[in-house]
Amino acid sequence: MLGNMQDFPLLVTSLIDHAEREHGEREIVTRWANGQELRSNWGIVALEARKFAQMLGRLGVQRGDRVATIGMNHAHHISSWYGTAGMGGILHTINPRLHADQLVYVLNHAGDRVLLFDKMFQPIVEAIKDRLETVEHFVLFDNAPASDGYACYRDLIDAEDGDYRWVDADERDPVGLCYTSGTTGNPKGVLYEHRSNVLHAITALQPAVMDLSSRSVMLPIVPMFHANAWGIPFAAAAVGAKLVCSCSNDGGVLWKLFREEKVTFSAGVPTVWLAMFADMDANGGDYGALQRVVIGGSAAPRAMIERLKKAGITVAHAWGMTETSPIGTTGARPHNWAELSFEQQVDIIAKQGRPPYGVELRIVGEDGQSLPRDGKTSGRLQIRGPWILQRYFGSEELAIDEENWFDTGDVSVLFPDGTMQITDRAKDVIKSGGEWISSIELENEAVGCDGVAEAAAVGVHHPKWDERPLLLVVRKPGATIGAEDILDHLQGRVAKWWLPDEIKFVDELPHTATGKILKRALRDEYADYSLATADD
């Protein structure tokens, strides 16, 4: 039957159409890896998206084919997303920090026919090129000219006229592909759809999520190969925000861009903020026009929250994962904010926030039964909603239960007002005497201690308690802090029985491709470690 309201599919291409039509001159600035700058705008990026779609057609790419990118954040990358979507293709973003075997796996598993890569990743590509089974076209993606037998984006785009009309699509058609970094087994692909991306984009705009408008100047530090840069290139198009993209995450380069481009909003993992603080401490300078920071990937240390807050910056956590598009929760000021003390405000910011309309959360016990939202009980976090995955790419099996719940692998607490606090990854939690110790909370408290640069808590086998915490600590350069200092600091900040049985100083800790501490490697390394207390 004919509906009464209009039939408009929610298509990613309608986002770039809107940006071009209503905000065509709003800027998109790219700072390339070689220090050069490209000043573009939504109108130009939209035109290049149409040229990109034409170019893919010329290369023989068909509807439903996958097009891969190994690229940093830049204007070409944004055009490639919209152009691929607009010709019915699927844009596959690849994390360059994956191991070579994983890169080969994801490219072959996705069946990518085209691979665009930034010049800096040419060695990575060449190291695996012979093992790629489906890639027919290799294209230099950033501002590098054609060389070494590779065509380049600029030449290919300039050969097209942009006279292209997006193919008709269904809003449930797939449009993007991103593999989870997968600490065990092969990476698994998450296939985003037009509809899920558009709903996620307009949700991101609201004040309690990212608070975006055409007045925003956003520098997404989070890379486009990491869960769609949290969806920012879609959300920004929905309002015509100015985007500032950097191919370098060097603290000094970023601060310079923040100030020169009057960045008001940024989003990234905690480690990049540490790098930026280090640069600021060394070279001085202020925060420029910065008003709002969203931190995700892992929890921000309390000291980082306090530093940003004292500078007058609205700081909030966001929590999500590749499988959730990624927004699951975001921190936002509750309505009684003005009545809270500084410490109470920081307590709220230190949690992961609340779900926007569209997302539903629950925690379950080991038996799969729902647990209360009492701010105390912790359980496995589950999530459902229109931008949450239901099955992995190429899999016939559902990744959700019969009520749509997707198990996140995180352990968390839910508060009565819906606020969520991650207490650990399910596999990282330290099981001591039948109770759970949060490795993350131990680490965050340890990092708040003067002289500690980084810390990792792992469960080590203990004959009596099953597991007990071992805390691995990297000292700040020049710091002489000892184990007793850290224990003194932890006293009163965590439960007494959470105190690590041993604190071991190391020169560095291993990290995942996305900058998180690689707990699995530490667990392997310390699997047979003998705690000094094991004979207690």
Ranges within 226-285 binding its own copies (CB under 8 A) = 238-239, 242
Q: Which is nearer to its own copies, 333 or 504 (CB)?
A: 333
Total length of the chain? 536
Q: Which is nearer to its own copies, 10 or 53 (CB)?
A: 10
- Distance between CA 536 and CA 531 in Å, rounded? 10
- Residue 55 is inside which H or E element, if any? helix 42-58
Residue 387 CA: distances (Å) to CA of 212, 390, 406, 506: 19, 9, 11, 41
97-121: b (≥16 Cβ within 10 Å) or e? bbeeebbbbbbebbebbbbbbbbbb
| 139 close to 58: Cβ distance less than 8 angstroms | no
SS3 for 454-493 is EEEEEEEEECCCEEEEEEEEEECCCCCCCHHHHHHHHECC
Q: Which is nearer to its own copies, 136 or 170 (CB)?
A: 170
- Distance between CA 102 and CA 516 in Å, rounded? 18
Find all residues with CB under 8 Å of 338, minimum gap 6, and list them.
none
Of 266, 202, 220, 240, the residue nearest 27 (C-alpha): 240
User: DSSP readout, 98-109?
Assistant: S-HHHHHHHHHH
Choose which of 206, 248, 291, 314 interacts with its own copies (CB under 8 A).
Answer: 206
Q: What is the bridge-based pairing of β-strands 137-140 and 151-152?
A: parallel
Choose which of 60, 64, 145, 207 interacts with its own copies (CB under 8 A).
Answer: 207
- In whole angstroms, the minimum distance from the beta carbon of 439 to its own copies comes to 28
Can residue 384 be called a binding residue for its own copies (CB under 8 A)? yes
Q: Which is nearer to its own copies, 57 or 358 (CB)?
A: 358
Can residue 203 be called a binding residue for its own copies (CB under 8 A)? yes
Q: Which is nearer to its own copies, 32 or 405 (CB)?
A: 405
Choose which of 211, 306, 441, 443 interacts with its own copies (CB under 8 A).
Answer: 211
Can residue 191 be called a binding residue for its own copies (CB under 8 A)? yes
Of 221, 243, 201, 132, the residue nearest 514 (C-alpha): 221
- In whole angstroms, the minimum distance from the beta carbon of 146 to its own copies comes to 36
User: DSSP readout, 305-339?
Assistant: HHHHHHTT-EEEEEEE-GGGSSEEEE----TTGGG
The neighbour count for residue 523, using CB atoms within 10 Å, is 16
Question: In the block, which residue shows the tokens 């899920």?
Answer: 196
Choice among 20, 48, 323, 467 that is catalytic: 323
Q: Which is nearer to its own copies, 262 or 476 (CB)?
A: 262
Can residue 519 be called a binding residue for its own copies (CB under 8 A)? no
Residue 436 annotated in active site: yes
Residue 427 annotated in active site: no
Stretch that binds its own copies, among 210-218, 219-227, 342-350, 442-450 (CB under 8 A): 210-218
Q: Which is nearer to its own copies, 330 or 444 (CB)?
A: 330
Residue 323 annotated in active site: yes
Q: Which is nearer to its own copies, 22 or 250 (CB)?
A: 22
Q: Which tokens hold the place of 107?
A: 């490219």
Q: Which is nearer to its own copies, 323 or 441 (CB)?
A: 323
Can residue 393 be called a binding residue for its own copies (CB under 8 A)? yes
Choose which of 331, 385, 459, 469 interacts with its own copies (CB under 8 A).
Answer: 385
- In whole angstroms, the minimum distance from the beta carbon of 450 to its own copies comes to 36
The neighbour count for residue 394, using CB atoms within 10 Å, is 11
Choose which of 13, 23, 53, 350 interacts with its own copies (CB under 8 A).
Answer: 23
- Number of residues engaging its own copies in binding (CB under 8 A): 68
- In whole angstroms, the minimum distance from the beta carbon of 29 to its own copies comes to 14
User: DSSP readout, 408-447?
Assistant: EEEEEEE-TTS-EEEEEETTT-EEETTEEE-HHHHHHHHH
Can residue 364 be called a binding residue for its own copies (CB under 8 A)? no
Q: What is the bridge-based pairing of β-strands 217-220 and 242-246?
A: parallel
What is the per-residue binding string for its own copies in 87-126, x denoting contact by CB under 8 A? ----------------------------------------
Can residue 354 be called a binding residue for its own copies (CB under 8 A)? yes
Ranges within 24-63 binding its own copies (CB under 8 A) = 25-26
Task: Extract long-range pairs of 368-374: CB within 8 Å, 24+ residues apart.
Answer: 371/414, 373/414, 373/415, 373/416, 373/418, 374/414, 374/415, 374/416
Choose which of 21, 39, 58, 431 interacts with its own copies (CB under 8 A).
Answer: 21
Of 454, 73, 508, 36, the residue nearest 249 (C-alpha): 73
Stretch that binds its own copies, among 46-54, 156-164, 296-304, 383-391 (CB under 8 A): 383-391
- Distance between CA 478 and CA 404 in Å, rounded? 51
Choose which of 168, 335, 484, 528 interacts with its own copies (CB under 8 A).
Answer: 335
Q: Which is nearer to its own copies, 242 or 468 (CB)?
A: 242
Choice among 262, 376, 431, 476 that is catalytic: 431
Question: In the block, which residue shows the tokens 């004959």?
Answer: 463
Choice among 436, 441, 445, 498 that is catalytic: 436
- In whole angstroms, the minimum distance from the beta carbon of 229 to its own copies comes to 18
Choose which of 38, 59, 205, 371 interacts with its own copies (CB under 8 A).
Answer: 205
Residue 403 φ/ψ, nearest 5 degrees: -105, 20
- In whole angstroms, the minimum distance from the beta carbon of 339 to its own copies comes to 12
Residue 55 CA: distances (Å) to CA of 20, 52, 146, 219: 20, 5, 16, 28
Residues that bind its own copies (CB under 8 A): 2-8, 10, 14-15, 18, 21-23, 25-26, 172, 174, 190-193, 195-196, 199, 202-203, 205-208, 211-215, 217, 238-239, 242, 325, 332-335, 337, 354-358, 360, 384-393, 398, 400, 404, 406, 417-418
Catalytic residues: 180, 323, 431, 436
